[in-house]
């Protein structure tokens, strides 16, 4: 049995993703076994370290770690919610579904004891400006974990297969750190397969995304958003544990939202302004009308 001290250092190196030290320590474990006459065990351990018969150099390992950090740094953009979840206008069905998600996450250890997992893969769909991205970031704040929006420009690689590798890095990260990982406008990645204009790489990306969603055991949540639900591959759609619709606001919802937002912005509601805000098709549209008015007021007074 290797010394606990060596194992503790090995675990520490893995936790720190210091792969160079991890490899050295793993070799030390094998040597310890050999030194007490456990030759077969030592051989088996060394074999596990080099499954393809190739010994990776320490510098190659360090390079991997550097790449890993570079990909995460470029692709994960931390975001903070504009509003707390309680202030987001949600239909009762959506609110109840999200309350369940929150409760499952808070009781995830109990679920685990029962051989179950919290629902982690969520898809938010609906028209533009109705709260999908806002809710995703507000959920992170509600759970007390960071929210990262995935930057597709950093994920999509120039070389064949690179995008799939980058996706894997992101999902592995979601398995290590409790966080909300948001694939905003996932239709950009998850278009229907078989599009004749795309030369295979798009198909591979969608397949990779589906595999990651299926196998990832995220500590927090993985949320995808889209306002082009019909463009999403049906098989990708099935990989989500829960799909929530964010519909266009009703007249009553919009009236309450306009009243509240105008008050928060200190905008006086004249009839014409109110009518213009209410004509908007989305909360974001109404907010835009009111912010423009607030801006005008400040400039006029200024
Ligand atoms: N349901 C809502 N409750 C309160 N404010 C909202 C709501 N929906 C939108 N807003 C306001 O509009 C802004 C933009 O909304 P958001 O980015 O969440 O829209 P979206 O549904 O993700 O749109 P898109 O599909 O275009 O990305 C929010 O930051 C917020 O100020
Ligand atoms: Mg959005």
User: Of 199, 222, 245, which marks where a domain is finished?
Assistant: 245
Cα 254 → chain centroid: 29
pLDDT bracket for residue 245 (50, 70, 90): very high
When mean pLDDT is compared across 11-25, 90-104, 170-184, 194-208, the lowest value belongs to 194-208
Total structural domains in the chain? 3
Query: Does residue 218 form part of some domain?
Result: yes
Query: Does residue 292 form part of some domain?
Result: yes
Query: Does residue 63 form part of some domain?
Result: no
Find the mean pLDDT for residues 23-30: 80
Residues 120 and 15 in one domain: no
Residues 83 and 224 in one domain: yes
pLDDT bracket for residue 6 (50, 70, 90): confident
* Dist CA 118 CA 115 (whole Å): 10
Determine the pLDDT at residue 241: 96
Residues 104 and 191 in one domain: yes
Tell me the CA–centroid distance for residue 125 and ligand 2, in Å: 9
Residues 51 and 197 in one domain: no
Residues 280 and 149 in one domain: no
Tell me the CA–centroid distance for residue 90 and ligand 2, in Å: 15
Pairing outcome for strands 76-79 and 147-150: antiparallel
Sequence-ordered alpha helix ranges (H) in 160-282:
162-176, 201-215, 234-238, 251-265, 271-278
- Check pocket membership of 129 for ligand 1, CB cut-off 6 A: yes
Nearest by Cα to 242 from 223, 219, 265? 223
Range of the domain at 199: 74-245
Residues 163 and 278 in one domain: no
Write the CATH number for 129: 3.40.50.300
- Taking only the tens place, the pLDDT of each residue in 152-193 is 888 877 666 778 888 988 998 999 889 999 999 888 776 655
Determine the pLDDT at residue 155: 84
**Phi, psi for 79 (deg, rounded to 5):** -130, 150
- CB within 8 Å of 122: residues ≥ 6 apart: 101, 221, 222, 223, 224, 240, 241, 242, 243, 244
Query: Does residue 264 form part of some domain?
Result: yes
Residues 231 and 171 in one domain: yes
- Taking only the tens place, the pLDDT of each residue in 78-137 is 999 889 999 999 999 999 999 999 999 999 999 999 999 999 999 999 999 999 999 999
User: Of 223, 245, 267, which marks where a domain is finished?
Assistant: 245
Residues 175 and 293 in one domain: no
Residues with beta carbon < 5 A to ion ligand 2? 132-133
Residues 214 and 230 in one domain: yes
What is the chain's mean pLDDT, rounded?
A: 86
């Amino acid at each position: 049995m290797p010394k606990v001290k060596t194992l503790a250092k090995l675990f520490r190196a893995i936790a720190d993703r210091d792969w160079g030290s991890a490899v050295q320590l793993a070799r030390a474990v094998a040597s310890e076994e050999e030194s007490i006459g456990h030759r077969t065990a030592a051989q088996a351990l060394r074999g596990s370290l080099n499954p393809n018969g190739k010994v990776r150099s320490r510098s190659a390992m360090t390079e991997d770690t550097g790449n890993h950090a570079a990909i995460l740094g470029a692709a994960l953009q931390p975001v903070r919610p504009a509003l707390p979840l309680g202030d987001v206008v949600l239909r009762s069905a959506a609110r109840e579904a999200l309350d369940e998600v929150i409760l499952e996450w808070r009781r995830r250890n109990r679920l685990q004891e029962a051989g179950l997992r919290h629902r982690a893969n969520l898809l938010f769909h609906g028209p533009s400006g109705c709260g999908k991205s806002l809710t995703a970031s507000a959920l992170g704040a509600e759970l007390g974990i960071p929210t990262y929006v995935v930057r597709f420009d950093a994920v999509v690689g120039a070389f064949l297969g690179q995008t799939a590798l980058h996706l894997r890095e992101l999902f592995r990260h979601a398995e290590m750190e409790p966080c909300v990982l948001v694939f905003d406008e996932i239709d950009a990645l998850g278009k229907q397969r078989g599009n004749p204009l795309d030369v295979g790489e798009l198909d591979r990306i969608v397949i990779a995304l589906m595999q990651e969603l299926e196998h990832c055991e995220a500590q927090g949540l993985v949320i995808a958003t889209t306002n082009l639900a019909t463009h999403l591959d049906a098989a990708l759609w099935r990989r989500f544990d829960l799909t929530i619709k964010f519909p266009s606001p009703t007249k009553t919802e919009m009236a309450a939202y306009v009243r509240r937002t105008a008050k928060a912005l200190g905008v006086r509601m004249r009839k014409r302004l109110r009518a213009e805000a209410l004509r908007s098709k989305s909360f974001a549209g109404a907010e835009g009308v009111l912010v423009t008015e607030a801006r005008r007021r400040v400039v006029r007074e200024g």
